[in-house]
Structure 1
Amino acid sequence: MNTNDEDAVFEALLDYLKRARGFDFTGYKRSSLKRRVHKRMASRGINRFEDYLDYLEVYPNEFAELFNTILINVTSFFRDQAAWSYLQEHIITSLIWGKPEDEPIRVWSAGCASGEEAYTLAIVLAEILGDEQFRQRVKVYATDVDEEALAQARQSSYSTKELEPVSLELRERYFEPLGDRFTFRADLRRSVIFGRHDLVQDAPISRLDLLVCRNALMYFNAEAQARILNRFHFALRDPGILFLGKAEMLLSHANLFTPTNLQHRIFSKVPQINLRDRFLSFSQANDDRVSTDLSSYVRLREVAFDKSLIPQMVVDVNGNLIFANSSLRVMFGLVQQDLGRPLQDLEISYRPLELRSQIEQVYANHQTIIVRDVTRQQLDGRVQHLDVRIAPLEDDNGEVMGASVAFTDVSRYHELQQEIQNSNQKLETANEELESSNEELETTNEELQSTNEELETTNEELQSTNEELETMNEELQSTNEELQTINDELRLRTQELNEANAFLNSILTSMKAGVIALNRQFQVISWNSEAENLWGLRNSEVQGESLFNLDMGLPVDQLRDMIRRSLIGEKTSLEITLDAVNRRGRKIKCRVVCNPMFDSEETTQGVILVMEEA
């Protein structure tokens, strides 16, 4: 099967999971998804996706095992200790003290797995607020798509090894011993609410102060990440904090979140500015008459600005587009949703004029700048000529609040000028050279823009590679934990086997008769100390050797018939007395008893020879 056919079958498998069990994996990265599904298929001895799809249809219980394999629940208390310390000391503390004392604090742990992250949040908040304030004000919402992991999280029960990242002081304060495990304090546990939630499909929890989603986004493709981040932006208050994993940098989502500390992947929400609401809320703080007048006044100013024939826009000191009248929106193809976005993200910031450097100069000099004769290529091929006026906007105290940018169309003036220049060939030639220079400049600008886009693409590819490596790292960590569990089981079984062997050896040693155990090939598998005393051969010398090849004082050939009879199924003991010579060279009468040796299914595995001097 070629790659395209295999991909098509894999997509059919994902579609079946969505239809049959309501779980949508289509937003997950295909590379990591295929690795996890292949791992589960290998455990069932299945090589092809279509065969595994048939298997799922026949054995519905396989769904749960497949989900457990795909959903990698790698987590721990205070994972990345340095990041948690920074969050507690610099972020959460400021967030809490900036709120009124009676206002609730809402936190969401998205992708909480078995609950360690949610209880870490509870510990951090309780340390800052104290137990009483924590119980009264805090709600920690912890969600995941894995019901089995959520069930474990709700029990809040952890082993000593799982609590190793928690200091002894915090462990004694927040966990109570229960047998050989520890449970989170019940009075604080009531503030932690667990529930199933699909980041791709379900509506987000709202009015949050802090949202923690660590190493979950890296499993989704770019489109699903964008949808989830938009929901996170909606879920957070202004201002709100987003805490991500070390592989997640949000390089292409600067319009939603801005880094507070990029090293520790802590971001703050970029608020969506709506000045009309700000003015109206200000007016509502006054009496009804003043409120009505101010609201009408603000609305009148907005309408007058919007209907102005001169294309104009207003940029605040943070570089965000605040106002753009209808003339400017039509001229440059802007839409209402562009208001509030960073100017640098819009084409108008560099075409037809590089505005950001001009605006910075206006801020620095507190003076208006007029850039004349700026050319702009229109869709119908005509060249439009503009004079661009950039003026600072200052309050009564002379503090710069932003800048006003107006575009005056002087194309008609240039047309008249061109008609005059047509009478002079030299001027016409000069004009052609000027147009050629403009074209070269525009080509250079486009090349620079293309280079910039290539660099952005390369950066996104590097980020995707980083996320993929982190995903594989978590998969390896999960596999390592599974191997550790298997290793512990093998160690326990080895210990039990050693104890059984020691017990068996003590029995053989304590017997006053020589005991020799043979397998079906007549090879020695056990030779006790009394046998060594009788025949002078040590256990290490005879292990694995055929009894009939041993040089000893017992005529072993005379035992051959008795041994064979035991091997073919005679269940009674067989006995013979032989003339022999012991290790000291003394002639003795040796009584040999032969018994068959059976396994648990009553199959003969060998014989046991018991020898003693008659």
Structure 2
Amino acid sequence: MEKIILLLRTKTGHDFSLYKKNTLYRRIERRMGLHQLDKITHYASYLRSNPQEIDLLFKELLIGVTSFFRDPAMWEQLKGEVIPALIASRAENTTLRAWITACSTGEEAYSLAMVFREALEELTPSRHLKLQIFASDIDKDAIDKARIGVFPPNIATDVSEERLHRFFIREECGYRVSQEIREMVIFAPQNLVTDPPFTKLDLLTCRNLLIYLEPGLQKKLLSLFHYSLNPDGILVLGISETVGQSSQFFVPLAGKMRLYRRADTAMGTNLTVFSPTVTRPQQSGDGYPALPQPLPHVPNLSALTDELLLRHYTPAAVLTTPQGDIVYLSAKTGKYLEPTVGKANLNIFAMAREGLAGPLHEAFARAVREKVTVTLKDLRIQTNGSALSVDVVVQPLSTPAAMQGMMLIVFREIGEASAKKAKAPSKTKRNAMDEARLAELTRELQQSREQVQITYEEMQTSQEELKAAYEELQSTNEELQSTNEELTTSKEEMQSMNEELQTINQELTSKVDELTHIGDDMENLLNSTDIATLFLDHQLRVRRFTPKMTKIIKLIPGDAGRPITDQVNELDYPDFAHDVQQVLRSLVSSERQISTRDGRWFLVRILPYRTRDNRIDGAVITFVDISVSKKLETAMTEALSVLQTRFNDQSSELDAAKELENVLRKAQALLEKRFEGQKVELRQAHADLRMKGGTR
């Protein structure tokens, strides 16, 4: 765990060492589950080798669960009581200041701005004041989103229709916060532990953050909030959070909501634990930031003088709780109080000396019961062999607010007499009393003293038992509070996971719809192409098929998952399964023309089935019906055969004609030689005939 926290601090600059370890481990365990790691040491090694995972873990630890007007009862109390009281206590035309810590994506800051506007407008007579809201968060991405002020449509479940209409602008992607409200809020990234705080605040909210932090850091932050708030400023915590050990800084308001008013306490607010990040810290020898050196102490003469006066010239005094437990002891109280024997007990009644315990108990009870100052005159207290005469004042405190309900006991010494003188009555008086009566009264007095002592011891025992019971109840209450904080933390984490799951579910629903559309498109495409298609897996089991496929292979919907070799088919294709396996091995497609027993012909193409990530996940076989083309091919073959026969016959006749032509040519040549002379005569006769014909 420490190594992971160190890696986070080195990479992000944020220290998670003061976060509750159970919360850290649950978030880390979730990231481990995503990466299937079973040991935190393995996850630490994974972080070291994968820096991007550190950023993802950082986002995981920032549980940004928020919504508009979360815990409606708290917002109603703010609107109806707190904000009107703050406005009434401020002058006209002034500006109230508020700080929203851990604002996440800004819903709470905008909610406060809306509530302030509504409360201001409902006041009669009207007032003119402004509210400046500072909203901060450690997550810069959330701050950027908050500045934009655009939220999804589902905020309508948390924001009333009236507020949506008044403070938002409807857009296509959701709702945008109006300019009037956005101008009231200033968003800034901030680390509460290291960055300087906003100050002079009238209202500060820190809801559902303290439950994730260790008690030490809780106390430091509450001290910081006390410093940041104006007198009578209001602190708002989550419904499962309290101020705890810092109750001296804050007074709870009426109601069940965790609203507190800043108390004026004499105890200064220690802010030295918060180091500003304006300057770069110096490095120590081991590479870690060096601790800031404390400022030199300058003596305060006024404080030293007051201390001397209190020590030497003021009466002894004791400050206690209403139960008598001592909170503060001044100087010179040793004359009246002494430590108890045995187990340490800082209760004033247990430490009171002889002569003080009984009267003080009675006066103390009356002062607590009636809320009045009670004075005991001339009490004689036995101190180291002598008797002191003392006036004791028991005063219940109502101011200042930090001491409200406490009791102040002041001892004013009157004088001192020796024990012997105090005990010995004068000789004149003794002689005047009857000896028998004196002895009787002495016995009665002794009995009364014994009875009082018994009663006092019983009361003291009862008080011890009540105190023990009170401490047990207080311890139980703290345990219950811790359990409640853990349950609230778990609830916050579950809500965060639920929101993430809702987002993932919406994405998955969208993907399912998309896949459904793609499936419908593919099915319609396959049906419209009129091509029989068969999908097989690696084991040649049927995955899916088109309706046309059933006319080739006897398939029914129930055959999905069964081997294709077990199905009856009409194909004259004994090597079908072998060819499919060969394609899966070689990843080279195959194409064959296959006939069926009823005379049909198909062009069978076998291709590897490739996924989107280029992984082979079976085979796709298409059967294109080529029966018509095959018949045409047969007819053409027969026609070509007939033509070839005729061509061969005509070739024989042509050869005979050529032989006859050769004979005739030879006969012509012989005749030409034989009739050469006659040819000349005939030409002359022909010429004569033409001449005769011309003269006519």
Same fold (TM over 0.5): yes
* Length, aligned pairs only: 545
Shift of 1:536: 9.1
Q: Which residue of 1 aligns with 2:503?
A: 485
Q: Which residue of 2 aligns with 1:192?
A: 185
Shift of 1:560: 4.1
Deviation digits for residues 63-113 of structure 1 (CA, Å, limit 9, x no counterpart): 322221111111111001122112111211221122111222010111111
In 2, the alpha carbon distance for the partners of 1:604 and 1:218 equals: 51
Q: Which residue of 1 aligns with 2:483?
A: 465
In 2, the alpha carbon distance for the partners of 1:270 and 1:348 equals: 27
In 2, the alpha carbon distance for the partners of 1:402 and 1:545 equals: 86
Q: Which residue of 2 aligns with 1:359?
A: 367
1:573 alignment partner, SS class: strand
Shift of 1:388: 2.6
Shift in CA distance, 119/393, structure 1 to aligned 2, threshold 3 Å: closer
Q: Which residue of 2 aligns with 1:11?
A: 2
Amino acid aligned to 1:593 = V
Shift in CA distance, 141/86, structure 1 to aligned 2, threshold 3 Å: same
Farther off after superposition, 500-509 or 592-601: 592-601
In 2, the alpha carbon distance for the partners of 1:114 and 1:150 equals: 6
Shift of 1:469: 0.6
Q: Which residue of 2 aligns with 1:311?
A: 316
For the Cα contact (< 8 Å) 2:100–2:134, is it kept in 1? yes
Structure ID, larger Rg = 2
In 2, the alpha carbon distance for the partners of 1:467 and 1:375 equals: 50
Farther off after superposition, 53-62 or 171-180: 53-62
Pair 1:240-2:233 in alignment: yes
Amino acid aligned to 1:38 = E
Listed as ranges, the gaps of 5+ residues in structure 1 are: 1-9, 275-299, 334-345, 395-400, 581-587
For the Cα contact (< 8 Å) 2:604–2:624, is it kept in 1? yes
In 1, the alpha carbon distance for the partners of 2:149 and 2:499 equals: 20
For the Cα contact (< 8 Å) 1:215–1:247, is it kept in 2? yes
Shift of 1:181: 3.2
Pair 1:406-2:423 in alignment: no
Amino acid aligned to 1:86 = Q
In 2, the alpha carbon distance for the partners of 1:543 and 1:134 equals: 77
For the Cα contact (< 8 Å) 1:126–1:134, is it kept in 2? no
In 2, the alpha carbon distance for the partners of 1:602 and 1:24 equals: 44
1:495 to 513, 521, 533: 513
Amino acid aligned to 1:77 = F
Shift of 1:441: 4.9
Pair 1:523-2:541 in alignment: yes
Amino acid aligned to 1:546 = P
1:370 to 358, 376, 384: 376
Q: Which residue of 1 aligns with 2:108?
A: 117
For the Cα contact (< 8 Å) 1:259–1:268, is it kept in 2? yes
In 1, the alpha carbon distance for the partners of 2:506 and 2:387 equals: 77
The TM-score, its normalising length taken from structure 1, stands at: 0.75
Farther off after superposition, 46-55 or 78-87: 46-55
Q: Compare relative contact order (CA 8 Å, sep 6+) and give the higher one, 1 or 2.
A: 1
2:66 to 58, 72, 75: 75
Shift of 1:165: 0.9
2:79 alignment partner, SS class: helix
For the Cα contact (< 8 Å) 2:390–2:412, is it kept in 1? yes
For the Cα contact (< 8 Å) 1:150–1:195, is it kept in 2? yes
Shift in CA distance, 565/436, structure 1 to aligned 2, threshold 3 Å: closer
Q: Which residue of 1 aligns with 2:81?
A: 90
1:544 to 555, 561, 577: 561
Q: Which residue of 2 aligns with 1:608?
A: 621
In 1, the alpha carbon distance for the partners of 2:387 and 2:58 equals: 60
Shift of 1:407: 2.2
Q: Which residue of 1 aligns with 2:134?
A: 141
2:92 alignment partner, SS class: coil
For the Cα contact (< 8 Å) 2:110–2:181, is it kept in 1? no
Amino acid aligned to 1:190 = E
For the Cα contact (< 8 Å) 1:362–1:390, is it kept in 2? no
Shift of 1:129: 3.0
For the Cα contact (< 8 Å) 2:316–2:332, is it kept in 1? yes
Q: Which residue of 2 aligns with 1:296?
A: none
Shift in CA distance, 507/349, structure 1 to aligned 2, threshold 3 Å: farther
Amino acid aligned to 1:591 = F
Farther off after superposition, 248-257 or 404-413: 404-413
Pair 1:155-2:134 in alignment: no
Amino acid aligned to 1:79 = R
Shift in CA distance, 610/140, structure 1 to aligned 2, threshold 3 Å: same
Amino acid aligned to 1:510 = S
For the Cα contact (< 8 Å) 1:548–1:556, is it kept in 2? no
Listed as ranges, the gaps of 5+ residues in structure 2 are: 268-304, 339-345, 353-359, 399-404, 426-438, 629-696
Matches of residues 440-451 of structure 1 in structure 2 within 5 Å? Answer: 441-451=459-469
Amino acid aligned to 2:261 = S
Shift of 1:490: 1.7
For the Cα contact (< 8 Å) 1:156–1:184, is it kept in 2? yes
For the Cα contact (< 8 Å) 1:563–1:607, is it kept in 2? no
Pair 1:65-2:65 in alignment: no
For the Cα contact (< 8 Å) 2:571–2:595, is it kept in 1? no
Amino acid aligned to 1:122 = A
Shift in CA distance, 21/590, structure 1 to aligned 2, threshold 3 Å: closer
For the Cα contact (< 8 Å) 1:93–1:128, is it kept in 2? yes
Shift of 1:431: 7.3
Shift in CA distance, 591/203, structure 1 to aligned 2, threshold 3 Å: closer
For the Cα contact (< 8 Å) 1:108–1:141, is it kept in 2? yes
Q: Which residue of 1 aligns with 2:94?
A: 103
For the Cα contact (< 8 Å) 1:566–1:595, is it kept in 2? yes
1:579 alignment partner, SS class: coil
Shift in CA distance, 448/590, structure 1 to aligned 2, threshold 3 Å: same
Deviation digits for residues 332-385 of structure 1 (CA, Å, limit 9, x no counterpart): 89xxxxxxxxxxxx9669975456632245557xx8542886979x9x999999
Q: Which residue of 1 aligns with 2:162?
A: 169
Amino acid aligned to 1:139 = Q
In 2, the alpha carbon distance for the partners of 1:428 and 1:47 equals: 77
Deviation digits for residues 10-34 of structure 1 (CA, Å, limit 9, x no counterpart): 3354355446644222322121122
For the Cα contact (< 8 Å) 2:203–2:234, is it kept in 1? yes
Deviation digits for residues 273-293 of structure 1 (CA, Å, limit 9, x no counterpart): 69xxxxxxxxxxxxxxxxxxx
Matches of residues 153-302 of structure 1 in structure 2 within 5 Å? Answer: 153-272=146-265
For the Cα contact (< 8 Å) 1:374–1:387, is it kept in 2? no
Shift in CA distance, 538/411, structure 1 to aligned 2, threshold 3 Å: farther
Q: Which residue of 2 aligns with 1:476?
A: 494
2:496 alignment partner, SS class: helix
In 1, the alpha carbon distance for the partners of 2:579 and 2:318 equals: 110
For the Cα contact (< 8 Å) 2:93–2:128, is it kept in 1? no
RMSD: 4.6
Deviation digits for residues 501-533 of structure 1 (CA, Å, limit 9, x no counterpart): 11121122224453333334332223322334x
For the Cα contact (< 8 Å) 2:366–2:374, is it kept in 1? no
Q: Which residue of 1 aligns with 2:526?
A: 508
Shift in CA distance, 384/50, structure 1 to aligned 2, threshold 3 Å: farther
In 1, the alpha carbon distance for the partners of 2:580 and 2:11 equals: 63
